[in-house]
Amino acid sequence: MDLKIKDKVFIISGGSKGIGEGITRTIVAESGIPVIATRSDEATIRISEELTRNSMKHHYVIGDLRDPENCKKVINETVEKFGRIDGIVNNAGVNDSIDLEAGPEAFRKSIDLNLFHYYDLVHYALPLLKKSKGSIVNISSKVALTGQGGTSGYAAAKGAQLALTREWAAALLKYSIRVNAIIPAEVMTPLYRKWLDMFENPDQKESEIKSKIPLGHRMTTIEEIASMVVFLLSPKSSHTTGQIIAVDGGYVHLDRSLT
């Protein structure tokens, strides 16, 4: 399927690792132009060198998105280089395990790490998104709906991302800007692998998790998340907005008796 995004420009926060990298690569595969916004310099340079060798248009901006000036820089550089912005994927963040016992300062830092740049990037990009009638996709997490235990900051940020998705979808209707959210559950990213390897028996833990995923008893792939994200960015989903879509093999919503 041609998603009709050739030469369209999309900013992906955290676009050089894990799910973000998958989204970047899927945009390239559909002849779109990714702009990677991240603080991960080594991973970003590696991807950039690969895309350059293959003559793929792209750009990256290295900087900590907790600083609003870096968010502004991402937008300004994108406009200077390509003259347009057709969509934003808010993806950067990490489950930092800041729980109730961590204290107010740690909680606020966790929110800062996982939430504010979602707002900041869209705020600075809004004039360009109005021109392009663009699309926004917020990457949230199952934790926003289910909780997890021991991660108050991350859960609060992810829940807020879902609230912003609905709020922005309503607020931006008059500009024909679509806003949707993706809820991943169990996806084998490098960070997830690192977490699994902390257990005494990682293989057993992985098998236990897979047994609870109804569709196929397997984890969702990065590519499956990325495909849904890029579809939502594209004109092929032109009448879809305000939706919260779980790409998770039924993990969150199907009855546990099925597993």
Catalytic (active site) residue 154: yes
- Alpha-carbon span 126 to 21, nearest angstrom: 24
Catalytic residue among 118, 124, 154, 251: 154
Which is nearest to 9 in space by CA: 135, 148, 179? 135
- Residue-wise DSSP of 123-153: HHHHHHHHHHT-EEEEE--THHHH--SS-HH
DSSP the chain: ---S-TT-EEEEETTTSHHHHHHHHHHHHTT-EEEEEES-HHHHHHHHHHHHHTT---EEEES-TTSHHHHHHHHHHHHHHHS---EEEE---------GGG-HHHHHHHHHHHTHHHHHHHHHHHHHHHHHT-EEEEE--THHHH--SS-HHHHHHHHHHHHHHHHHHHHTGGGT-EEEEEEE-SB--HHHHHHHTTSSSHHHHHHHHHHT-TTTTSPBPHHHHHHHHHHHHSGGGTT--S-EEEESTTTTTS-GGG-
| Residues involved in catalysis | 154
